[in-house]
Chain A
Amino acid sequence: MTLQYDDPIIELYRESFPDFARMVRRMGGSLEEAKDSFHDALLIYLEKGKAGKLQLHSSPRAYLLGTAKICWLHTQKKGAMLSLPEGFEAATPEDPDTEEREQKLLDSLQKSGKKCLELLKAFYYDHCSMDHIAGRFGFKGRRSATVQKYKCLEKVRKEIKITEIYAQ
């Protein structure tokens, strides 16, 4: 994977992770555990930022360290009283059957329509504007990008239906 060195996340990672790792070490955790919880927290930070829902009362670094600590306590079953940000389930294990079914569907979608998944990710996850998406994916304008977005969603829905029929 190629990294962009001007990515502010790299600097945030560099200046925050060692302090969090030290905290986890003091509480008896390993480097791997520290990394996993830190990545969960970074994911929360990035997702909330993209969705325009990040309310910082302190620095990004302090937010990240606080969230990572909550994530780590959750993995240690010590954080039942501390809630993760609303709508965030990345650290919570799914029902194994559902997870397997969704993973199979995703594998088949990745084989048949990577470009569509990238377009849908840009809109629904990265919250990019339709103008930006039109430019990035080579559409004439926002209208044709919007039509393509719905065609892609239709394609995913059809794929789900086909896969479900074969599974039965």
Chain B
Amino acid sequence: MRSDLNEIAQIDQYLFRQFTEEEGKRFEARLLMNDALVEKVEAQRLAHRLIRLYSRKKERDRIEGIYRQLLEEPAFAHQLKTIFF
């Protein structure tokens, strides 16, 4: 794997706390001396937030789709109607 991809893999290990204690300390020492690496770590942290945001939106759309589909079932729709109306 390309060395920059290896670095991405290492940042993942750091963000997901998959390093051993010693590896973690070594990585944090590199962070202290390397501003560019700090920037990459922060961008990757944000990337993971965006992946989660995207994934949750897709999952919520799927759940909404199930609700709309169930509303087309007369028995289900009738149950809700008797509860709220």
Q: Is A157's CB under 8 angstroms from B51's CB? A: no
* Secondary structure type dominating chain A contacts: helix
Q: In the complex, A102→B59 CA distance in Å? A: 18
Residue tally, chain B, CB below 8 Å to A = 38
Write the chain B residue with the least CB distance to A125.
B55
- A54 CB-CB contact with B under 8 Å: no
Q: In the complex, A141→B44 CA distance in Å? A: 25
Write the chain A residue with the least CB distance to B5.
A150
Q: In the complex, A117→B52 CA distance in Å? A: 10
* Binding-face segment, A67-75, A77-85, A104-112: A104-112
Which A residues touch B76, using CB under 8 A? 14, 18
B52 contact from A7, A109, A125, Cβ within 8 A: A125
Q: Is B80's CB under 8 angstroms from A110's CB? A: no
Q: Is B66's CB under 8 angstroms from A3's CB? A: yes
Give 30 A-B contacts (CB < 8 Å), ordered by A residue. A1-B61, A1-B65, A7-B66, A10-B69, A10-B70, A13-B66, A13-B70, A14-B76, A21-B83, A25-B83, A31-B83, A35-B67, A39-B64, A102-B46, A102-B50, A105-B50, A106-B50, A106-B54, A109-B50, A121-B51, A121-B55, A125-B51, A126-B55, A147-B5, A150-B8, A151-B5, A153-B44, A153-B47, A160-B50, A161-B43
